[in-house]
Amino acid sequence: MNNKKDKNNKILKIKGNFKSQNFIYIKKLKTIFIIVLLILILLVGRIGYLQFFQGSYLKQLAYNQQVINQIISPKRGSIYDSTGNKILATSASVDTITINPEIVKDAIKDKENPNQFEENLSKAFSDIFDLDYEETLSKINSEAQVETIAKKVEQDKVEQLQAWMKENDFSSGINIDEDTKRYYPHNNVLSHVIGSCGSDNQGLSGIEYEWDSVLSGTPGKIVSSQSASQQEIPKAEETYIAAENGSDLTLTIDYNIQTIVEKYLKQVVDNNNVKNGGNCIVMNPKTGDILAMATYPDYDLNNPFTPNEYIAKNYNSLDSEEQTNAIYKMWSNKSVSELYEPGSVFKVITSSIALEENITSTDIANDFYCSGYETIDGYEKPIKCWNYEHPHRYQTLRNALENSCNPAFIQLGNRIGTSTLYKYYKQFGLFDKTGVALPGETQSLFVDENSVRAVERATMSFGQRLNITPLQMITAISAVANDGILMKPRIVKSITNTDTGAVTTIEFEEVRQVISSETASKVKSMMESVVQTGTGYNGQVTGYSVGGKTGTSEPIEGKEDTEGYVASFVAISPVEDTQVVLLLTLYNPPKSNNQGGQLAAPVVSQMLTEILPYLGIPSDDETSNDDNLISVPEIRNRTIAEAEKILKEKGFITKISTSNDKNSTLVVDQVPKPGVSLSEGSIIMLYDQDTRVSATVPDLSKLNKYVATSELKKANLNIQAEGSGIVISQDPPKGSIVDAGTIVKVTLRQSSN
C-alpha cells in the first residue's frame, strides 16, 4: 500500500494544456508547404503569362538581340516630262555621317593629348559641314549609341572628311553610310506641281507627296547573327533581301511648253505688280492631258524651306508659326488648292446651257437688251454692265458674248432657271473635285440650290459669287472644245518599274457627254467672234484661229485691297479641231489695269504664238513649203563687213570666227553656197583663209519643225523641211561632222498618236 502511494507521489502533474514538440514541427511544415505551393503557383503563373501573353514579344526581343538587320535603302524613282527626255526630279548618291560616341571617346584616349584631339575633331566636323562647334562637341560626348553629324552630304565634303581622318590617323567610331538626296535639275520649273522631299526622302508636297508610295519603293535588308556581347558572329549565315527601287513617273507636262508659260507668267506678274500672283494651265481637251501648270511666284525645289523673294520681304518679322504657314502658302498650287470667282469666262458655260436647252440661238436679232444695268427682284442695287456708260442696247447671244455684257447674261440666266443651271453645273463637274492626281484639291463652293435667290442666279450667270478652282474651269471649257465631252484631267501618263522595266500606262478617262457636238460647235464659233471682234481681240495669234473669253471678277465689298480683282482669259486653238486650251488667271492686278481683255489676253497670245508652232500645228498661212524663202546671194571675195551687211538686209544671220579686221579681210568661202533658198533667219557661215568651223548634226527624230529648227540653230546649222508633223528622216544623219552652216534636209509627217 505504502509502495503504491510512493509511486503515485512520483507522477508529475502538469497544469494547463499540453503541446507536443512534434505538433509544432508539423505546423511549421504545413506553413512551409503552403509557402512553397504559393511560390510554385506564382512561378507557373509567371511562366504561363510569359509563354502565352508575352511569348511573341519576348521572341521578337530575343531575335532583335541575336540578329543584325542592315537596312538597304531603295532608290527613289525619277520624274520625267511627257517626252521622256527631261528629268524633272531624280536622286543623287550622297552620304550620311554618324558617330558612335563611346567608340570615339575610347579611341581618343589613346591620343597624346586627348582633350585637344577631341576639340580638333569637333572643329573638323563643324568646319567641313558648316555646323555649330559646341553642338558637335556635345554629340561626341553624348551617352547615346549613335549620333548623326550630317545628312545628305555631297562627295566633296566626304572627301574632305576622309582626308582629315587619314591625316590624323583616326577613323574609329566615324561612319560614312551611303544615302540618296533628291535633286531637281531645273530648280524652280514646275515647282508647285512636282513638290519636294524632306531629309528622309519622303514626299512633302506635289507629285512627290501624292505619289510617294510609288516613287519611294520598298527597303531591303541584310540579316546576320550576333553574339551576346553584340559582336557579329564570323562566317554566320546571312540573308539578303533586295530593296525594291521606286518606280519612275512620266508626266503629261511638256517641259518646253511649261517653260514658255512660266516665262510669260513671270513677266506679266512682275511687270504689272500683280499683288497675289498668277496661275496658268494648258490642257489638251481631247485627252485631258495637262501640258503645263504654273503658279507664280514659284520657289526653288532644291531649297523648299527657303522663302522666295516675295515672302522674304517680311519673313524675319513673323513668329515661328507664321513662318511655317508662309512656307506652306508658298508651296500651294493655285490650280487645285485655291478657289476663285471666274468672272465672265464662266459665260461660256451659261451660253452652252442655253443653246443645249434650245432656250435661244446664237444670232437671234434683238434677243437681249442692255440699258447699262439690270434690276434684280428683291435686290436694292441694280447690277451694272462693265460698260454701263455706253450701253450695248439690243444684242444677239453672239453679241452679248463678244461684248461680255452682264445684263444680257442675267436675262439669259432667268430664262434658263436655277434647277437647269445646277443640273448642268453638275454635268460640267463643277460640284465635284476633278480627281486629278495631285494633293490638296479643294472642293468648290456654291449656294445650296434651294437657297438660290434671284440675285444669286443673276451673279452666277456671269461667273461671280461662285467659287471654283482654275482646274475645274479649264476642264469645263475643254469639254466645250472637245465636242461636248468632259475628260478627267491627267497629270501622270505612265509608271515605269525601274527593276523590271515594265511600263504601266495611265489611260485618259472620258467622264461623260455634257452637251452635244452641235452645241459645242456653236459655242466655239461665238468664242472665235470674241477674239476677232469682241473684248478678246488682244488674244489673236497670227496664222491661227483662236477662240476665247475674257474675265474680270470683282472682289466682295470690303475686300478690294486684300483680294482685289481677278483678270483672266481662256483661249482655244485651233477653233475647228481644238488641240490646246489655255487659261491664264491673275490675282489682284492694279486698279488701273485689271481687265482680262487688256491684261491677260495679250499674254495668252504671246504664249500661244510659241506653243502652237512647237506642237507642230500648221498655221493658216502655211500654204507651201516654198513660201517666204530667200535665195542666198554670192558674197565670196567681198570683205566680211560688206558681206554681213548684204546678208543682214536679206534677213539672214551671219556668223564668223576670225580675229582679222572685218573691213579688210575677204570672205573666201560661205556655207550654204550661193543660190540656195532658205527661210528668213537662217545662218550663213562666213570663212576667211584662216578659219573653218565644224558642227555635229543633232538627232531630230520625232521632233516637230519648230523644235528641229531650234535644235539646228543651236548647232549653227540650217533646215530644209518637207511635209508637216514630226521628223521621220534627216540628211545628213545624226552625229555627222559637217561645216557649220550646212543645210540639214528633213522629212516630216503627221504623228499617229
What residue ranges define each of the domains in the chain, with the CATH number in brackets?
71-251 (3.90.1310.10), 343-614 (3.40.710.10), 629-749 (3.30.10.20)
The predicted pLDDT at position 109 comes to 87
DSSP state of 327: H
Mean pLDDT calculated for residue range 31-48: 83
3-state secondary structure of 99: strand
pLDDT above 80 (res 220):
no
List the one residue out of 649, 636, 722, 644 whose CA is nearest residue 680: 649
Average pLDDT, the chain: 88
pLDDT-derived band of residue 374, with 50, 70 and 90 as boundaries? very high
For residues 199 and 182, what is the distance between their CA atoms, to the nearest angstrom?
Answer: 9
Alpha carbon distance, N-terminus to C-terminus of the chain: 144
Sheet holding 726-731, edge to edge: 718-722, 743-749, 726-731
Mean pLDDT calculated for residue range 451-471: 96
pLDDT above 80 (res 224):
no
pLDDT above 90 (res 85):
no
pLDDT, tens only, 3-33: 555 555 555 555 555 555 556 667 777 788 8
Mean pLDDT calculated for residue range 166-175: 88
Secondary structure (H, E, C), 535-579: CCHHHCECCECCEEEEEEECCCCCCCCCCCCEEEEEEEECCCCCC
Total residue count of the chain as it appears in this document: 753
3-state secondary structure of 697: coil
Among the ranges given (71-75, 115-119, 520-524), the one the predictor scored with the smallest mean pLDDT = 71-75
Mean pLDDT calculated for residue range 371-382: 92
- Contact (CB, 8 A) for 698 and 711: yes
As given in the structure block, the three cell numbers for residue 663 are 573691213
pLDDT, tens only, 409-435: 999 999 999 999 999 999 999 999 999
pLDDT above 90 (res 571):
yes
* Higher per-residue confidence, 573 vs 560: 573
For residues 123 and 373, what is the distance between their CA atoms, to the nearest angstrom?
Answer: 76
- Amino acid identity at 227: S
The predicted pLDDT at position 427 comes to 98
pLDDT, tens only, 522-566: 999 999 999 999 999 999 998 899 999 999 999 887 777 778 999
Among the ranges given (287-296, 356-365, 675-684), the one the predictor scored with the smallest mean pLDDT = 675-684
The predicted pLDDT at position 626 comes to 46
pLDDT, tens only, 670-724: 999 988 888 888 999 998 887 888 999 999 987 877 778 888 988 999 998 887 7
pLDDT-derived band of residue 582, with 50, 70 and 90 as boundaries? very high
Query: Which ranges of 555-691 does DSSP label H, i.e. alpha helix?
Result: 601-614, 640-650
- Contact (CB, 8 A) for 489 and 432: no
The predicted pLDDT at position 623 comes to 38
pLDDT above 50 (res 624):
no
- Contact (CB, 8 A) for 88 and 79: yes
Distances in Å between the alpha carbon of 490 and those of 100, 226, 439? Answer: 49, 51, 13
| Contacts of range 305-314, beta carbons closer than 8 Å, 24 or more positions apart | 310/277
pLDDT above 70 (res 326):
yes
The predicted pLDDT at position 435 comes to 96
* Higher per-residue confidence, 178 vs 537: 537
As given in the structure block, the three cell numbers for residue 136 are 558637335
pLDDT above 50 (res 753):
no
Q: For strands 248-251 and 79-80, give the pairing.
A: parallel
Handedness of CA 99, 102, 107, 111 (dihedral sign): positive
